[in-house]
Amino acid sequence: MIEDDLREALEARASSYETDPRAWDGVRRRASRGRRLAWAKAATVPLAAGAVLGGGWVVVTTGAGPGGDAVTVTTVTPSPTPSASAPPKRHEGAYTTVTATAPPIGDTLTVEDPSVGRPMRLWFAEQRGTDGTAYVALCTAQQTPTGGSDASCGARNDETGHPGERAWFGNRTEHGWPLPEKQTAYGAAREDVAKAEAVSPDGSRFTGEIHRLRGAPLAVWTVTYPYEAKIRGFEFSDAQGKVVQWVANPFYPNFPDPVGASNAKQVGPALDLPGGPEARMYDDGSLVWRLGDRIVGADFAGNMAISPPDGHLSNGVTDVPVASHFDAGRWFGYARARTTRVEVTFEDGRTARARTVRDPWKQGVVLFSVPFEPAGDVYISGYRVTGFDARGKRLWRHDEPPHPPLWQAGQAGPPPTPSRR
């Protein structure tokens, strides 16, 4: 229902706004949390018919939830779409947008998000339920390597929604492909909680941290553990070591997510690219990249066909001519038809080249793969991809601008705002 509403709104206004090729990925991740397909970690170009408006916008969802009612406000700020001559403006994306109406009560916590390798933010803010009752919400803001961000203030997280509880589950970090090595669960805790541990069925424990934020009404707990670990629940103890709360993992036993990026029917044959990976197309629009049993990339490709006469991907929504992944010691992806060779160039002069292969699904694109190990985060410095035809003539060029982190670990947010409670 959320997706349908978003599509209708976007279709009605798309003619007036510049679209962004990466942002729909973030919307799908939030709107279908807990039942989503797995999307690409680097949020490359999703070739779907819809795209998020370039300026960012807010979705408000109301409905029943813990404590009788709940209001969740989610803001998605797309990756900035740069001009050819101007560098992207520095901003703090969805965090700034959400804190304008949900300012932190006390300090904001900044911790590493292992799913993307960039810091996320957590803070408490005052919200009101559908009946007008004020409550404290645990809010989060996350960023992507390609410059996008999303932020939300979730359902009730104070005593109204958790009477008598000493701690409760907030959420967990997302994942992309390849799967991250670690995952972080987080939530809220009261003053007497001194220790948080994730507990697996075999009794293994992973100790987390209790973060006490100056001026905040509650503490934030975080526990990081190997992604493949199955976590049955979370145990909380006081300063004397007495267990004061047990919180079952709401995702167990289906946690972590299934290893398949799509449950849909495969379309046609798989394509073995030179040196790997193997590409598989599914009838739900998923394009999945595999090295053996390991998924190293996934795109929500939608209708990949090129839309004549402009030759744009994504049914003419965007003119980005190529989708790239930098994982598993390779540069791989897909590009416009008639492209015979692709070349990527980085700011330090390093270059990789690959010959293309026509797709076997008759979607009007070409695919490529070449061994390549980038030095660090390719999105911090940016890069250029150029496509050539069989005669060596340049067909197109795509400049991916630098996407430095929107905020750094340990960096504070806006100054504390007194609660209106």
Domains of the chain: 266-400 (2.60.40)
pLDDT at 255: 55
The 10 Å CB-count burial string (b at 16+, else e) for 187-207 is bbbbebbbbbbbbbeeeeebe
What is the per-residue burial (b if ≥16 Cβ within 10 Å, else e) of 300-310?
bbbebbbeeee
What is the DSSP code (8-state) at residue 94? H
pLDDT of residue 68: 33
Q: How far apart are CA 418 and CA 322, in angstroms?
A: 47
Preceding amide of 201 cis, omega within 30: no
- With a CB cutoff of 8 Å and minimum separation 6, the contacts of 169 are 185, 187, 234, 247, 249, 250
Q: Are 346 and 383 in contact (CB under 8 A)?
A: yes
List, for the chain, all residue ranges whose pLDDT scores fall below the cut of 50: 1-91, 304-317, 411-421
pLDDT for res 258: 52
First-to-last C-alpha distance (Å) of the chain: 33
Instruction: Compute CA 139 distance to the chain's CA centroid, rounded to the nearest angstrom.
Output: 16
Q: Which pLDDT value is given to residue 293? A: 84
Contacts 24+ apart (CB under 8 A), 239-246: 239/192, 239/194, 241/195, 244/166, 244/167, 244/192, 244/193, 245/165, 245/166, 245/167, 245/193
